[in-house]
Amino acid sequence: MVQERRAYNFNAGPAALPLEVLERAQAEFVDFRGNGMSIMEMSHRGGVYEAVHQEAKDLLKELFSIPEGYDVLFLQGGASTQFAMIPMNLLAPGKVGAYVDTGSWAKKAIKEAELIGETAVIASSEADRYTRMPDLAAIQVPEQAAYVHLTSNETIEGTQFRSFPNTGDVPLIVDMSSDILSRPLDISQFGMIYAGAQKNLGPSGVTVVIAKEELLTVSPKHIPTMLRYDIHQKNQSLYNTPPSFSIYMVNQVLHWLKEQGGLKAVEKHNEEKAQLIYDTIDGSQGFYSGIAAVDSRSRMNVTFRLETEELEKQFAKQAEQEGFVGLKGHRSVGGLRASIYNAVPKSSCEALVQFMKEFKQQHS
């Protein structure tokens, strides 16, 4: 019954959540597991909440095969606050924050770091108008680099790295806001990963940071308490009141991911969903054209254009009338975008492909 009323949700974030998760949360919304109150009404210092908090961490470690020597933090302020916290905590005087410039989100990260310390852009795809990810096979990491920062998936342009560079002893820090947990990865190649939850992990309100402990314990003394990794790490992300409901929802999403068969199964599902839409674009004799270069195509955000802006507007409008939500491209790049994060069912992608074919028939 509920399923029939669900929209075909292609929102870029906040985005679709698994129906099973929403229903489970609904079932324990008012009375959380016999405690006579919702989880939102409980103290974050009590055992009931703490167990949910700790389980979310443990599930993330298990699902993502996070090795020993790493810790998981649940912070606030979105991924955007990490753009500042990373240089504040890790970019010491005399050091350089090395950045890979891949588009809209990478640029925002660079802008924040420039406010705080010395930065260098060591690779960029600006010359290609960010339609592809730069080739990082031969990147030169500056000797004084405190870290190398990159964005694994550019949500707006619809580009994604398939693999990551070897930065040697220099920690690799990755903004995975729009593709975290969409595929298995060898976590030991990263110094730090961070992501706002509202695309692949849960609702907005919590940001996940996964980092080597050695990066979480070196915060300089002059930075404010709430912006220090060391304080949050020492206090297991319970230094102040955490976004308890959001963390509970992340816990539920992680359970769901496990039930789907873990990240290998999730990756396969994501590949199939993306392939359906890219095949439709490629088979349309130019009626639809993909924005991203083929080797950089994102499996999370499929961006495409039609021949004219007028036609794109018509597509978006007609799609909306037929129950599709969130297909308009970001205002900064235009075009159309289907965000197909983990929780977007394949049936939504099949419905979109059907709509795309019919729209083409009507307009070509």
256 labelled catalytic:
no
Are 301 and 155 within 8 A, CB to CB?
yes
Catalytic residue among 101, 105, 179, 328: 105
Q: Among the options 57, 61, 199, 273, which is catalytic?
A: 199
Contacts of 346 (CB under 8 A, 6+ apart): 269, 272, 273, 276
Q: Position of tokens 């979105």? A: 78
Per DSSP bridges, beta strands 145-151 and 153-154 are unpaired
| Cβ at position 177, least distance to ligand PLP in Å | 4
- One of 57, 61, 71, 175 is an active-site residue; which one? 175
With H, G, I as helix, E, B as strand and everything else as coil, classify residue 302: strand
Q: What residues make contact with ligand PLP under the rule CB under 6 A?
A: 13, 78-80, 105, 151, 155, 175, 177-178, 196
Q: How far is the CB of 179 from ligand PLP (least distance, A)?
A: 8
Closest to ligand PLP by CB, 270 vs 280, is 270
Return the number of the residue (87 or 355) whose C-beta is nearest ligand PLP.
87
Q: Helix crossing, 104-116 with 78-90: angle to 10°? A: 40
CB of 112 to ligand PLP, least distance (A): 11
Element (H, E) at 192: strand 192-196
Quote the CA–CA distance of 221 and 69 in Å, as a whole number: 23
Shortest CB 198 distance to ligand PLP, Å: 6
Q: Which amino acid is at 193?
A: I
- What's the number of CA atoms in the CB half-sphere (13 Å) around residue 338? 33
Least Å distance between CB 197 and ligand PLP? 8
Least distance to ligand PLP, CB of residue 100, Å: 13
Look at residue 336 and give its three-state secondary structure.
Answer: strand
Of residues 155 and 251, the one with the C-beta less far from ligand PLP: 155
DSSP per-residue letters across 32-87: GGGSSS-GGGS-TTSHHHHHHHHHHHHHHHHHTTPPTTEEEEEESSHHHHHHHHHH
User: Computed from CA positions of residues 54, 60, 65, 70, in that sequence, does the dihedral angle turn out positive or negative?
Assistant: negative
* C-alpha to C-alpha distance for 339 and 50, rounded to whole angstroms: 33
Report the amino acid identity of residue 40: M
- Closer to ligand PLP by CB, 176 or 216: give it: 176
Dihedral through CA 222, CA 119, CA 298, CA 352, nearest 10?
A: 70
Q: Which is nearer to ligand PLP, 233 or 339 (CB)?
A: 339
Q: Name which of 151 and 303 has its Cβ closer to ligand PLP.
A: 151
Catalytic (active-site) positions: 105, 175, 199
